[in-house]
Structure 1
Amino acid sequence: MDPRISFVTLAVADLDASRRFYVEGLGWRPELDVPGEVLMIRAGERLVLSLWDRDQFVAEVGGAVATGGIPPITLAHNVATPAGVDAVLDEARAAGAAEVSSGTEREWGGYTGYFADPDGFRWEIAWNPGEIGQSVLP
């Protein structure tokens, strides 16, 4: 198996709220949109963000979805400058995101801030001046 991730799937409580946030608010374009079931958005050349209705998710995957508290995952969107971090955080707030933290200089040399989507999934917006941080920029 080669080291890559093809889909990131988030089980969401309200698919319509997620659609409003990601599509209408942030302006992302769906690749697949099945109302009441799933919304898929191309997030990279070979990466898809899949927002899946929580009940549909449980029916296929099995088990129970953990609720309450902060979901134990973050998604990161890297940008080329610290000002880019602030601009994306402003855009997310305008789309209805809850601000978790404003842009902050980090001890490791970068600058990051966080927002939460309608289900509380944390998005890190990051300027990472290191080699690995620069390698993921378009």
Structure 2
Amino acid sequence: MDQRISFVTLAVADLARTHTFYVDGLGWTPELYVPGEVLMIRAGEHLVLSLWAEGGFEAEVGPVRRGPGLVPVTLAHNVRTEAEVDEILDLAAAIGADPVSRARRRDWGGYTGYFADPDGFRWEIAVNPGPVGALVLPDPGE
């Protein structure tokens, strides 16, 4: 089996609200949008973010756990500079992301902050030092 991830699939409560957040707010381009069913966005060379309406997700995968607390998943978007981290967090706040945790330097050497999409999925916006941080970034010319 190849060592890779092809899809990150998230069950969302309101697909139209999710579309507004990702497409209209963040400016991402859908590969596929079926209102009321699914929104698919290419998130990398061989990676798709699939946002399913909860009903369809539950019909195929099983019941969604509900209750207080955080969704136990984070998605990361890495950038090259601290200024880019701050810019993206400002954009998320401007389009209504709640909460937004301002970026700060972490004990492990990175600079990161978080925002939540309309369903509470946390996005980490990060500058990661060292070889692993460089591994996840496209070449500067791309």
TM-score range, shorter chain: over 0.9
SS of alignment partner, residue 50 of structure 2: strand
Offset, 1:99:
3.0
Report the counterpart of residue 70 of structure 2 in structure 1.
70
Taking structure 2 as the reference length, the TM-score comes to: 0.94
**CA deviation string 1:5-38 (max 9, x = no partner):** 0000000000011000000000000000001000
Which ranges of structure 2 fall in alignment gaps of 5 or more residues?
Answer: none
Offset, 1:101:
1.2
Give the number of aligned pairs.
Answer: 137
Offset, 1:61:
1.1
Structure 1 letter corresponding to 2:11: A
Report the counterpart of residue 86 of structure 1 in structure 2.
86
Report the counterpart of residue 60 of structure 1 in structure 2.
60
* C-alpha distance in 2 between matches for 1:131 and 1:65: 36
Report the counterpart of residue 103 of structure 1 in structure 2.
103
CA contact (8 A) 2:114 2:125 kept: yes
Offset, 1:100:
3.4
Offset, 1:95:
1.9
The 5 A counterparts of 1:41-52 are 41-52=41-52
Deviates more, 1:73-82 or 1:99-108: 99-108
CA contact (8 A) 2:89 2:100 kept: no
SS of alignment partner, residue 98 of structure 1: coil
* C-alpha distance in 1 between matches for 2:100 and 2:70: 11
Offset, 1:77:
0.2
Which ranges of structure 1 fall in alignment gaps of 5 or more residues?
Answer: none
Taking structure 1 as the reference length, the TM-score comes to: 0.96
* C-alpha distance in 2 between matches for 1:4 and 1:135: 13
Report the counterpart of residue 10 of structure 1 in structure 2.
10
SS of alignment partner, residue 8 of structure 1: strand
CA contact (8 A) 2:93 2:100 kept: no
SS of alignment partner, residue 39 of structure 1: strand
* C-alpha distance in 1 between matches for 2:77 and 2:10: 16
Report the counterpart of residue 122 of structure 2 in structure 1.
122
